[in-house]
Amino acid sequence: MKRKFYLLFLAVFIVSIILIAGCMGPGVITERAKTIDLSLGTTVGNHTYLPLNLKGPPDNHVQEILQVLDTFEKAHPELEVTSWSAETSQQSNFTYGLWVNHRPK
């Protein structure tokens, strides 16, 4: 009886640690955002798609996303960004890329 209780307690403890560790996102900017290659993006008309392929939801990658947007705006001073959105998986555990809508200034 004690052994079953011990094994159950151990299993719950391990699962709890895994869940807590999985909920913790990155705390600082990653190396990935230090080099941004906008040539990987696709532009058609007033819309650009920038692939990111980041594990986790967008709120785990705020710094990287804002740096990509800033780099895009600096590379295209002739464009005014009117809106943007992040493309995520249905479970929001993966961020595929950014949709950036823009128009000429």
**What digits encode the pLDDT tens for the residues 30-52?**
455 467 888 888 999 999 999 88
E-strand stretches of 6-105:
42-44, 47-55, 79-88, 94-104
For residues 80 and 48, the answer to whether their CB atoms sit within 8 Å is: no
Sequence ranges of the domains in the chain? 28-104
pLDDT of 22 reads 46
Q: Could you read off the pLDDT of 2-15 as tens digits, one per residue?
A: 666 656 655 555 54
- Place 19 in a pLDDT band, splitting at 50, 70 and 90: very low
47: which residues sit within 8 A by CB, 6+ positions away?
99, 100, 101, 102
**Which residue carries 């650009």 as its tokens?**
48
**pLDDT higher than 70, residue 27:** no
Among candidate residues 34, 96, 105, the one with its CA nearest the CA of residue 76? 105
